[in-house]
Amino acid sequence: MLNKNIPIPLYYQLKEKLTQMIQNGEMPVGSLVPSERELSERYGISRMTVRQALGELVKEGLLVREQGKGTFVAEPKINQGLLKLTSFSEDMRSRGMEPDSRVKAIYVQEAPPMVASALGLSSEKRVVIFERVRLADNKPMALEISHLPLAKFPELDKEDLHSASLYKLLEDKYNVSIHHARQTIEVGLSSSVESKYLGIRSKSPVLLIERITFDAKDQPFEFVKSVYRGDRYKLQVELYR
Ligand code: GLP
């Protein structure tokens, strides 16, 4: 029960209670949260109070509202470290999830000026472009558009990257020694096409990540623009002083 005799607001007590139930598995991922009416009767509080608690849990990403269906316990966010250069496949496997991709397109094209400059291309400017929806346990997490110089990776456009890792392929087949990357992260809103691929509502919050990856000789070999679902990721970094 909630305690009306302590100076902690009731909505906050309910929020804590529900958070605890989510964390200890009493309310598992995907389960339907009882209605406002049920919760207000169960805890003897007003529906307004329940609404405030649920609203905050939705904002914090612990619950999701599905139009016409109700409020559900959300999938936990991926805690993405920022210091290690890893691939999507490695990231998902290390969390016990199965990585996969829906390849939307693979084509060869003259690199746009921004990409040519990022990859340091001057004469031969053709790049292989992969457009992939990245999946974890079959659920869309991110959309990635990767550009790699054709001169360095001939025939790369013939590769089947459906359930394969690009980094593994580059290491095993092309002997690339993947060394470091320069990455920027911005906040954005998903376009309608991105939303469709990611299974989210248009104009949902997303992380826009750009990465230029370098080999051990400090040569850039990959320029990637990614759109990560804001409801599935949080970024983590250790800070020292
Ligand atoms: C991450 C990076 C991309 C990189 C990809 C490779 O998602 N943001 O820049 O291209 O990993 O992943 P994989 O080897 O699984 O194809």
Query: pLDDT tens for residues 84-133?
Result: 999 999 999 998 999 999 999 999 999 999 999 999 999 999 999 999 99
Q: Is the model's pLDDT at 2 over the cut of 90? A: no
- State the pLDDT at residue 224: 98
Backbone angles phi, psi at 82, to 5 degrees: -110, 0
Q: Is 99 within the bounds of a domain?
A: yes
- State the pLDDT at residue 162: 86
Q: Is 162 within the bounds of a domain?
A: yes
Confirm or reject: Cβ of 13 under 6 Å from ligand 1.
no
Q: How far is the CA of 201 from the centre of ligand 1 (A)?
A: 24
Q: Is 2 within the bounds of a domain?
A: no
Query: pLDDT tens for residues 42-98?
Result: 999 999 999 999 999 999 889 999 888 999 999 989 999 999 999 999 999 998 999
Q: Kindly state whether residues 83 and 177 are assigned to the same domain.
A: yes
Q: Is 6 exposed, middle or buried (0-12, 13-18, 19+ CB in 10 A)?
A: exposed
Q: Kindly state whether residues 111 and 178 are assigned to the same domain.
A: yes
Residue finishing a domain among 25, 55, 73 = 73
Query: pLDDT tens for residues 164-215?
Result: 999 999 999 999 999 999 999 999 999 999 999 999 999 999 999 999 999 9
Q: How far is the CA of 222 from the centre of ligand 1 (A)?
A: 10
Confirm or reject: Cβ of 183 under 6 Å from ligand 1.
no
